């Protein structure tokens, strides 16, 4: 079964080919030009998707040694994401499915991330805890099967990646903030500043907005202006902030590990690329004797391989797939309870 996957929910256009669950191509075109605006400009993102999507599909077919007629299923991200950006990939995928008379499977972007660990050699085992940390979402989920996902908690305000991006902006680093904070943090002292870790009434929820404000207040009080912060101090702030985010994610996952008897843990989403977070979660998993699956860096950020994988599983599970799907920008999760 040749599954073509298409992802266009934000600032990455990606096209993948999955042949009998073997990844033949996973092409990702990142729209780096947004960095000069300090964040993603939706209209520019849609236009860039439109320009690159056909060449990427051609390249993915070429790399897989396949032709259009060999495609069996077409899967594309239907939401959540930027509406104009989603429309490009979704409409293209539906048009291609119609013209080839092949099934079209809409995929929830978050569900794509949740199962991205299955793209690895060592796969998660059900039931597993999925910690989804991306630019738009922070979720802790109990995943019992490919069709039964239970939401344990989520952020009540900013997503973890959003906090990285906002704090990076405060510190004068470019967009996207995560990799830049990680770089600075590696040179700083994480115990220098004791930034707050939110404890919420709901044990599995997260909050990162207070932390972001605490960093802002600290900068205002200690320096007044970011231009007055030395490079060493910038590194210490980045390290202390990153450590506060990691502590929040670890403390919540730890609570869930005590209550739910899972086989494994999977850390997914763009922030899962963070080296310090990967290390801390590895330690936690070892302490609790759980298998940990973290996708390789190329499957942490937005990619079409995870969309093709999720699409293939949904297709196999059966269902009435037709072309009557509109994009949904909000967090509408098909298989959640
Ligand atoms: O999953 P993703 O590519 O897009 C969404 O679905 O949102 O996640 C993007 C987020 C951005 O906020 C980015 O700053 C963050 O992932 N990120 C990181 C790292 N690499 C990307 N955050 C922390 N450390 C990193 N190394
Ligand atoms: Zn994502």
Go through the domains of the chain in sequence order and give each one's CATH number: 2-114+299-316 (3.30.420.40), 122-294 (3.30.420.40)
Nearest CA to ligand 1 atom 16: 270
Residue 331: the pLDDT is: 61
Residue 332: the pLDDT is: 61
Q: Ligand 1: list residues with CB < 6 Å.
A: 10, 134-136, 161, 164-165, 176-179, 182, 269-271, 273-274, 301-302
| Rounded Cα–Cα distance for residues 101 and 193 (Å) | 59
Residue 195: the pLDDT is: 98
Lowest-pLDDT range of 165-169, 241-245, 268-272, 317-321: 317-321
Write out pLDDT tens, residues 318-332: 877 888 888 877 666
Average confidence (pLDDT) over 244-267: 98
Write out pLDDT tens, residues 281-311: 999 999 999 999 999 999 999 999 999 999 9
Instruction: Report whether pLDDT(231) > 60.
Output: yes
Global pTM reads: 0.95
Write out pLDDT tens, residues 99-116: 999 999 999 999 999 999
Please tell me the distance between residue 93's alpha carbon and the centre of ligand 1 in angstroms.
Answer: 25
Write out pLDDT tens, residues 119-135: 999 999 999 999 999 99
């Amino acid at each position: 079964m040749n599954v073509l996957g298409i992802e266009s929910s934000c600032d990455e256009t990606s096209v993948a080919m999955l042949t009998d669950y073997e990844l033949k191509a996973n092409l990702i075109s990142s729209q780096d030009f947004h960095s000069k605006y300090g964040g993603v400009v939706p209209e520019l993102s849609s236009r860039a998707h439109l320009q690159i999507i056909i060449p990427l599909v051609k390249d993915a077919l070429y790399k897989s040694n396949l032709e259009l007629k060999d495609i069996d299923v077409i899967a594309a991200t239907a939401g959540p994401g930027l509406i104009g950006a989603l429309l490009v990939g979704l409409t293209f995928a539906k048009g291609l499915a119609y013209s080839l008379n092949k099934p079209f499977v809409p995929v929830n972007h978050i569900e794509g991330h949740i199962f991205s660990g299955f793209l690895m050699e060592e796969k998660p085992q059900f039931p597993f805890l999925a910690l989804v940390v991306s630019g738009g979402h922070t979720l802790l989920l109990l995943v019992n099967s490919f069709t039964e996902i239970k939401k344990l908690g989520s952020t009540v305000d900013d997503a973890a990646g959003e906090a990285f991006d906002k704090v990076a902006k405060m510190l004068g680093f470019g967009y996207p903030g995560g990799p830049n904070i990680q770089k600075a943090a590696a040179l700083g002292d994480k115990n220098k500043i004791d930034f707050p870790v939110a404890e919420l009434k709901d044990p599995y929820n997260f909050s990162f907005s207070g932390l972001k404000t605490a960093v802002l207040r600290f900068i205002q009080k200690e320096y007044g202006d970011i231009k007055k912060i030395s490079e060493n101090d910038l590194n210490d702030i980045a390290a202390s902030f990153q450590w506060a985010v990691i502590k929040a994610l670890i403390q919540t996952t730890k609570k869930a590990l005590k209550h739910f008897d899972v086989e494994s843990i999977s850390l997914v989403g763009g922030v899962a690329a963070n080296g310090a977070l990967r290390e801390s979660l590895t330690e936690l998993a070892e302490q609790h004797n759980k298998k940990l699956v973290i996708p390789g860096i190329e499957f942490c950020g937005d990619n079409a391989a995870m969309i093709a994988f999720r699409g293939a599983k949904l297709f196999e599970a059966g269902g009435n797939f037709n072309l009557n799907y509109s994009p949904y920008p909000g967090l509408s999760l098909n298989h959640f309870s």
